[in-house]
């Protein structure tokens, strides 16, 4: 099985973290193609970054389709470009945000999300609402550690994440935690042991779901919302992305 995993930003170090988390969760017979976005922002923090990240993500999805990927994972917790990628691809496309939320809902009555910056909270709350899981989420909490500072020891990121988890369990009555950034993937296991509750890494969750969909032969529906793009010309910088029949 070939699994195409797209880091929605262009930071190679984060792609390496994502690839390691994916490899740990994947089946032995799965080949992982882990790539950074073709072009775009170094990190995705808010709606402006998200808008400029989508074309680069779609280019990597297109490449994965051409290489015969059995499934795709968008490894950005905002699920950047997810709907567009599903319209583009025949193989199933799973976003790590949606995957993390769904797995948490299978493991706990109420879960909380611990993410990076406060500006990301509205994006995630809107996604939860759109996915129909807002009533299962006790809170979306921000550490106010930026994406690019997660692996900087001076940021004290792990301790700040742990602090928000403690508050989510005590104040919000959460029963499980979803880590709200792909750059947190390598912390899930140790945090779960520390707090004694499921701490879910969206990368691992998406890998498992994507493999499962591919294994039972399911593909993205091309009827309605995820129908293939209508052939037309795009102008200017977007001309290379013009859909063709």
* pLDDT tens, residue by residue, 22-38: 999 999 999 999 999 99
Domain count, the chain: 2
Answering whether pTM is above 0.85, one says yes
Residues in the chain: 245
CATH number at residue 165: 3.40.50.12500
Per-residue model confidence (pLDDT) at position 245: 75
Q: Do 63 and 36 share a domain, yes or no?
A: yes
Per-residue model confidence (pLDDT) at position 123: 96
Task: Determine the Cα–Cα distance for residues 192 and 203; give it in Å rounded to an integer.
Answer: 16
Per-residue model confidence (pLDDT) at position 195: 98
Neighbouring C-alpha atoms within 13 Å toward the C-beta of 30 = 24
Per-residue model confidence (pLDDT) at position 151: 87
Per-residue model confidence (pLDDT) at position 243: 95
Q: What is the DSSP string of 143-188?
A: ----GGGTT-GGGTHHHHHHHHHHHHHHHS--SEEEE-SGGGGGGH
124 within 8 A of 180, measured Cβ to Cβ: yes
User: Which stretches of the chain drop beneath a pLDDT of 70?
Assistant: none
11 within 8 A of 150, measured Cβ to Cβ: no
Per-residue model confidence (pLDDT) at position 149: 94
Q: Do 35 and 91 share a domain, yes or no?
A: yes
DSSP-based helix, strand, coil % in the chain, nearest 5: 50, 15, 35
Domain that holds residue 43: 2-95+204-241
Read off the DSSP letter of residue 76.
-
Q: Do 122 and 145 share a domain, yes or no?
A: yes
Cβ neighbourhood burial of 31 (10 Å; 0-12, 13-18, 19+):
exposed
């Amino acid at each position: 099985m070939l699994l195409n995993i797209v880091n929605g930003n262009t930071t190679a170090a984060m792609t390496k973290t994502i690839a390691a988390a994916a490899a740990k969760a994947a089946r032995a017979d799965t080949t992982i193609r882990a790539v950074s976005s073709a072009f775009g922002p170094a990190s995705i923090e808010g709606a402006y970054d998200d808008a400029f990240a989508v074309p680069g993500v779609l280019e990597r999805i297109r490449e994965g389709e051409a290489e015969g990927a059995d499934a795709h994972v968008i490894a950005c917790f905002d699920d950047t470009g997810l709907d567009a990628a599903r319209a583009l691809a025949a193989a199933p496309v799973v976003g790590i945000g949606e995957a993390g939320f769904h797995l948490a809902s299978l493991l706990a009555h109420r879960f909380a999300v611990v993410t990076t910056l406060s500006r990301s909270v509205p994006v995630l709350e809107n996604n939860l609402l759109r996915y129909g899981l807002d009533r299962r989420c006790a809170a979306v909490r921000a550490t106010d550690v930026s994406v690019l500072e997660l692996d900087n020891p001076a940021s004290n990121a792990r301790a700040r994440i742990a602090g928000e988890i403690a508050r989510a369990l005590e104040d919000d009555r959460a029963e499980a935690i979803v880590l709200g950034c792909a750059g947190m993937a390598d912390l899930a296991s140790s945090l779960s042991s520390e707090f004694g509750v499921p701490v879910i890494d969206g990368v691992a969750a998406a890998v498992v779901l994507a493999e499962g969909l591919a294994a039972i032969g399911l593909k993205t529906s091309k009827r309605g919302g995820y129908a293939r793009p209508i052939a037309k010309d795009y102008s200017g910088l977007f001309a290379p992305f013009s859909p063709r029949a």
